[in-house]
Amino acid sequence: MGFKTPRSAVTLMNVYDFDVLVIGSGPGGQKAAIAAAKLGRRVAIIERRDMIGGVCLNTGTIPSKTLREAVLYLTGLDQREMYGQSYRVKDEITIADLAARTQHVVGREIDVVRSQLSRNRVTILTGTGSFVDPHLVEVDDGAGRSRSASADKIVIATGTRPARPASVDFDDRAVIDSDGINNLEKVPRSMVVAGAGVIGIEYASMFAALGTKVTVVEQRDRMLEFCDVEVVEALKYHLRDLAVTFRFGETVASVESRPEGAIATLSSGKKIPADTVMYSAGRQGMSDNLRLGAAGLAADARGRIVVDEFFRTTVPHIYAVGDVIGFPALAATSMEQGRLAAHHACGEPLHAFGQLQPIGIYSIPEISFIGRTEEELTGENVPFEVGISRYRELARGQIIGDSYGVLKLLVSLEDRTLLGVHVFGTGATELVHIGQAVMGCGGTVDYLVDAVFNYPTLAESYKVAALDATNKMREIARFA
Ligand code: FAD
């Protein structure tokens, strides 16, 4: 680490086809490939036909976030405080209406990814990669042709696929996993979502907004337990208001497909008929097709590959990044892991992966946070004060018709630094980054008290919450 090898020297020394070979072109693989190319390395990326951009671009993040945007626009949901509960942009929203926006965005994004790879001279090898030995990968194009490519360094970025419990008879029509959402033929009138994880809750809120009668079944007693408890309560309140039914502490015991849909039977004996049952039961690492054994590697039962702090596997010249290494399994973190792995592989000086990572949940309304929760801090006996700002008390909140949004700062009573920022409501996933910047630079609540924000903005909520926290802290000091 800490040195740079000139490109010419690398090429002369090289006995391999490529300096860096990346398997998988999702966010982790893309950023690894481009970072290595920017450092002057000869890079190739292996990807299956029609999957450039990975799960992120083709079936996961981008289609789901575009669908959410289409739902918000066409239902007019976020304008109803202003124009009344009957406000709609379109009365009969069809799958074609929703798909049009998704296809447009996905098409454009694929173009962007292809163009970035080509202008950085990253070779695209089309097919499925599997190890022949620790430096050699065979690429099978699925049409009976294969080639092999060798490399000095290899980055595995093969992601995940939806886990499919053996007990469930998926028919990809009425009984689907989260990928199946992209192939629905009509907007279901009713839907059972099995699993209240991030993906399950995001889709539950989108379909509830479309008027689908949604039932969420979750075996645990609560959902999104890594988030702020009050924020999750607020989300549940909003979803119930959209006619979502929650069945906590229950499991789907069986699902039977019927011509008109499917019927889910819970272990308590309850039966829920629905047009669609969507399983969102976690994800399985895509490592079974890699022939890891040939490289001296292995994966765990969920297909995940273990790495060290620089994303090196147990075979030091082979790296793994993104969802295939497990938590937090986000596009955002995968990109950074890819970049860091490439820099490490190319001998660039680098920092270890930061601990301070934001979490964004694109439910309706959306949630985002960074740092610790009240529950965690209390559990660890860390003294803190809470500063709250409600959108309805901000001019911008009134203008956009968001009366429920809230921003919460958790401030250390010891050194006045921010320990956590939790946002619920419009723009939460953008707003959180102001808090991230302050926390990342070690700033205190006093910075936010003194800062002047554009007016009227939602960003102003930082100042309001900071004033709330410092007023409470002053009161503590006065009594003490
Ligand atoms: P992936 O995007 O998983 O892509 C891996 C690629 O590797 C695939 O294209 C696959 O074809 C390819 N591959 C697999 N095996 C091989 C092989 N042997 N040879 C060649 N290629 C192979 N994250 C966020 O940050 N924000 C969100 O809002 C968000 N929403 C999501 C919504 C849904 C419905 C889903 C499913 C996920 C969402 N995520 C979100 C998670 C995000 O999509 C993933 O974290 C991200 O895509 C992981 O990136 P990755 O680099 O690991 O690869």
Segment 436-466, tens digit of pLDDT: 999 999 999 999 999 999 999 999 999 999 9
- Is the CB of residue 64 less than 8 Å from the CB of residue 32? no
Per-residue confidence (pLDDT) for residue 353, from 0 to 100: 85
pLDDT for the residue 362: 98
Element (H, E) at 431: helix 428-440
Quick one: pLDDT at residue 354?
85
Average pLDDT of the chain is 95
Cβ of 128 less than 6 Å from ligand 1: yes
Instruction: Look at residue 351 in the predicted model and tell me its pLDDT.
Output: 84
Q: Whose CA is nearest to atom 34 of ligand 1?
A: 60
User: 297-333: per-residue pLDDT in tens?
Assistant: 999 999 999 999 999 999 999 999 999 999 999 999 9
* Least confident segment among 3-17, 254-268, 339-353, 371-385: 3-17
> Which ligand 1 atom is at minimum distance from the Cα of 128?
19
Percent of the chain with pLDDT over 70: 97
Task: State the Rg of the chain over Cα.
Answer: 24
pTM for this entry = 0.94
Pull the structure tokens for residue 62: 């981008």
Higher pLDDT, 169 or 334: 334
| Closest ligand 1 atom to Cα of 338 | 51
pLDDT for 6: 39
Mean pLDDT to the nearest integer, 213-235: 97
Q: Quote the ligand 1 centre to 24 CA distance (angstroms).
A: 9
Interval 194-206 mean pLDDT:
97
The pLDDT value given to residue 14: 62
Q: What is the pLDDT of residues 84-124, one digit of tens each?
A: 999 999 999 999 999 999 999 999 999 999 999 999 999 99
Q: Is the CB of 290 under 6 A from ligand 1?
A: yes
Q: Which pLDDT band, with edges at 50, 70 and 90, does 352 fall under?
A: confident
Minimal-distance CA residue to ligand 1 atom 39:
61
Which tokens go with 380?
């660890």
Average of pLDDT values for 406-434? 98
**What pLDDT shows up at residue 4?**
37
Is the CB of 60 inside a 6 Å radius of any atom of ligand 1?
yes
Residue type, 166: A
CB-count burial class (<10 Å; 0-12, 13-18, 19+) for 73: middle
Q: What is the mean pLDDT of residues 277-284?
A: 94
Per-residue pLDDT at 168: 87
Please give the residue that has the higher pLDDT: either 166 or 108: 108
Mean pLDDT of 38-44: 98
Q: Which of 21, 52, 56 to mutate to test the pocket of ligand 1 (most atoms within 8 A of CB)?
A: 56
Task: Give me the count of residues in the chain.
Answer: 480
Give the Cα separation of 107 and 116 in Å (integer).
Answer: 14
Average pLDDT over residues 69-84: 95
